[in-house]
Amino acid sequence: MLFCVRALSGAAQRVLLAPVCGFQPLTVVARSVSFSPGQVTSNDSFHSVSSGSDHPKVLITGGLGQLGVGLAKLLRMQFGKYNVILSDIRKPPNHVYQSGPFIYSDILDYKNLCEIVVNNRITWLIHYSALLSAVGEANVSLARDVNITGLHNVLDIAVEHGLRLFIPSTIGAFGSSSLRNPTPDLCIQRPRTIYGVSKVHAELMGEYYHHRFGLDFRCLRYPGIISADSQPGGGTTDYAVQIFHNAVKTSKFVCNLRPDTRLPMMFIEDCLRATLEVLEAPAEILSMRTYNISAMSFTPEELIREIRRHLPDLQVTYKIDPGRQAIADSWPMILDDASARSDWGWKHDYGLPELVQTMLNFTGSDSRMSQAN
């Protein structure tokens, strides 16, 4: 059993060394955690609302990124508004702050994270905090801190408090020596970005903690995720989001990848549903702890062709970014997600035509609202 060892002295220290609450003085990860005021949420009703014994209490780290807000909305519909806490180190926009519990959480601050988990009786931890591929290459030191040190913190806290821990992985966890068409769940992984290296590290550490300490670790390798209500976050697949905004607003787009660059992609609603499904899946049906998931694979050229079926005036030029192109050329072209489909019934809803129609509907309505304002 792992637990926090608080940095105390004198009599208090002797009390902590006594075998209380079922803890044994073996297999201990020593962490220095001092006492401080408890975490206080902005809504006093948060602690008073009964969640019911069958509902988890969820904490989402890095919650203001591309996926966190959408996943919080889905989980709140499933488990109740006050059972899902969104967290980040940034100030949330008003609509996010008013939609449900939001608190400050720095994954590099172990004590802060411990307090949040304990004070809010968290049972599921969804760890979205990370620097993405292109941003990580521009700041390797920060990416190492956030993606690796932060990971170690959540792993230790999850074991200590018996949490179910979900950490997303990515197509960036593969490299040029991996099988690319298709890429299976198990194959050589030798990524050449700090983002990819940190994700392989997360997969292996999560599986190690599962086998060594019984951690309920679950992981999905996401393809490129496309959503209309969030801005690109510095990933190599961002072109497939930005193109819709430009197509609606200016009818012009500059693509930074070659027209024949094939990558696996997924619409955000499929991604969020897959995350909920694997979190809810009974442990006994999971044959592995890290799964590929996918929905479609396309090239910029194929995406442009489909968009032009709706917006024939779209003009596209190519200005290849050598860094992003090199990353894309090392990633899978098609993900083999047969294990996810057979083990827990994964099935996507959106193919390329449905994706394009939905994205244009979203971005078109947003554009019309902006013009009206």
DSSP codes, 253-291:
EEESS-TT--EEEEEHHHHHHHHHHHHHS-GGG-S-SEE
Identify the CA nearest to 352 among candidates 318, 301, 316. Answer: 301
User: Angle of helix 150-160 relative to helix 110-119, nearest 10 degrees?
Assistant: 30
Place of tokens 């209490």: 57
SS3 222: strand
Instruction: Please report the sign of the dihedral spanned by the C-alpha atoms of residue 293, residue 296, residue 300, residue 304.
Output: negative
Contacting residues for 319 by C-beta, under 8 A, at least 6 apart:
254, 255, 256
Q: What's the CA gap between 73 and 92, in Å, rounded?
A: 15
Q: What's the CA gap between 88 and 109, in Å, rounded?
A: 12
Strand pairing report for 296-298 and 263-267: antiparallel
Catalytic residue among 82, 110, 128, 195: 195
Q: Is 195 a catalytic residue?
A: yes
Query: For 214-351, where are the alpha helices, taking DSSP H only?
Result: 239-249, 268-280, 300-308, 322-329, 338-344
Q: Are 287 and 186 in contact (CB under 8 A)?
A: no
Residues with catalytic annotation?
195
